[in-house]
A and B are shown apart, each in its own frame.
Chain A
Amino acid sequence: MTLELYRIDDRLIHGQVVVGWGQPLDIGFIVLVDDLVAEAEWEQDLYRMGVPPEMDVYFHSASDAIAAMPKYLAESRRGILLTGDIATMQRLVDGGVVHNVNIGGIHSKPGRVQRLRYVFLSPDEESQLRALATNGVKVSAQDLPGARDVSLPDLLAGSEL
Chain B
Amino acid sequence: MSSDATPSADRPHPRAIVAGHGEFAAGLVSAVQQITGRGDQLIPVAVYSLGVEDIESLLRKKMLEADVHVIFTDLQAGSCTMASRRILRGRDDAVLIAGINLPTLLDFVFTEGKTAPEAARHAAERGRAAITVHGAGA
- A interface vs B, CB < 8 Å? 10-15, 17-19, 42, 46-47, 49-51, 106-109, 114, 117-118, 120
- Smallest CB separation, B69 vs chain A (Å): 20
Say yes or no: A51 contacts B50, CB within 8 Å.
no
Asked, given contacts A107-B49, A118-B49, A120-B49, whether A14 binds B79 with beta carbons under 8 Å apart, the answer is yes
Residues on A with beta carbons closer than 8 Å to the beta carbon of B77:
13-15, 17-19, 50-51
Q: Size of chain B's interface in residues, with CB distance under 8 A?
A: 17
B78 within 8 Å of A by Cβ? Answer: yes
B residues 30-69 touching A (CB-CB < 8 Å): 48-52, 54
- Smallest CB separation, B4 vs chain A (Å): 40
B126 within 8 Å of A by Cβ? Answer: no
**Closest CB pairs A-B (n = 5):** A107-B51, A50-B77, A18-B77, A14-B79, A15-B78
Closest chain A residue to B85, Cβ basis: A46
A107 to B52, CA, bound (A): 8
Say yes or no: A15 contacts B79, CB within 8 Å.
yes
B86 within 8 Å of A by Cβ? Answer: yes
B89 within 8 Å of A by Cβ? Answer: yes
A159 to B134, CA, bound (A): 48
Asked, given contacts A11-B51, A108-B50, whether A50 binds B76 with beta carbons under 8 Å apart, the answer is yes
B82 within 8 Å of A by Cβ? Answer: yes
A47 to B122, CA, bound (A): 26
Say yes or no: B76 contacts A49, CB within 8 Å.
yes
Say yes or no: B51 contacts A15, CB within 8 Å.
no
Say yes or no: A50 contacts B81, CB within 8 Å.
yes
Residues on B with beta carbons closer than 8 Å to the beta carbon of A17:
77
Task: Render B102-123 as a binary contact track against A, CB cut-off 8 A, 1 for contact.
Answer: 0000000000000000000000
Residues on A with beta carbons closer than 8 Å to the beta carbon of B81:
50
- Smallest CB separation, A65 vs chain B (Å): 20
- Smallest CB separation, A82 vs chain B (Å): 13
Residues on B with beta carbons closer than 8 Å to the beta carbon of A10:
51-52
A51 to B78, CA, bound (A): 10
A18 to B81, CA, bound (A): 14
Residues on A with beta carbons closer than 8 Å to the beta carbon of B75:
15, 19
Residues on A with beta carbons closer than 8 Å to the beta carbon of B79:
11, 14-15
